Amino acid sequence: MNPLKSGTIDLVLLSALQDRPRYGLEILEHIRTRAAGQFDMKEGSLYPALHRLVKAGWVDSEWQASTQGGAPRKVYHLTDSGLNAMNDKRQEWQGLRNAVDALLTRRLA
């Protein structure tokens, strides 16, 4: 497993919320599953990042009762501003990925 780099955390979290709202540990599990276990994000990194995204207005949260009778959970969801930010960050990522791929591709002279 690899740690997520600071420049990718926002994009990964926003992307994890694009399909539906999720609570914290569910976000971590979604990231691990979708990335086939390649990313290792700890709770100690998740919650400060989520708070930063809430403060930026990209994510909102609300408390919901647990469906299994446990304590209420804080559920996070993407805002319209967050969707725009995710799309912008996705374009930036594609540009970076294309540039790195171009550098890694061996050219025959």
- Angle of CA points 33, 60, 11, to nearest 5°: 45
List, for residues 32-80, the tens digit of each pLDDT value: 999 988 887 888 999 999 999 999 999 999 999 877 788 899 999 999 9
List, for residues 74-105, the tens digit of each pLDDT value: 999 999 999 999 999 999 999 988 999 999 98
Do 1 and 40 contact (CB within 8 A), yes or no?
A: yes
Please give the model's pTM, rounded to 2 decimal places: 0.84
Q: What percent of the chain has pLDDT over 70?
A: 92
2 has a pLDDT exceeding 60:
no
Residue with the bigger pLDDT between 43 and 107: it is 43
pLDDT at 69: 80
Residue 29's pLDDT band (cuts 50, 70, 90): very high
| CA dist 23 → 36, 43, 47, 75 (Å) | 20, 12, 11, 4
Supply the CATH classification number for the domain 2-104: 1.10.10.10
pLDDT at 6: 62
Each domain of the chain, given as residue ranges in start order, spans: 2-104
Do 91 and 67 contact (CB within 8 A), yes or no?
A: no
- E strands along the chain, which residues? 2-3, 22-23, 39-40, 59-64, 73-78
5 has a pLDDT exceeding 70:
no
| CA dist 91 → 48, 96, 108 (Å) | 24, 9, 29
Cβ-Cβ contacts under 8 Å for 61 (sequence gap 6 or more)? 50, 54, 74, 75, 76, 77
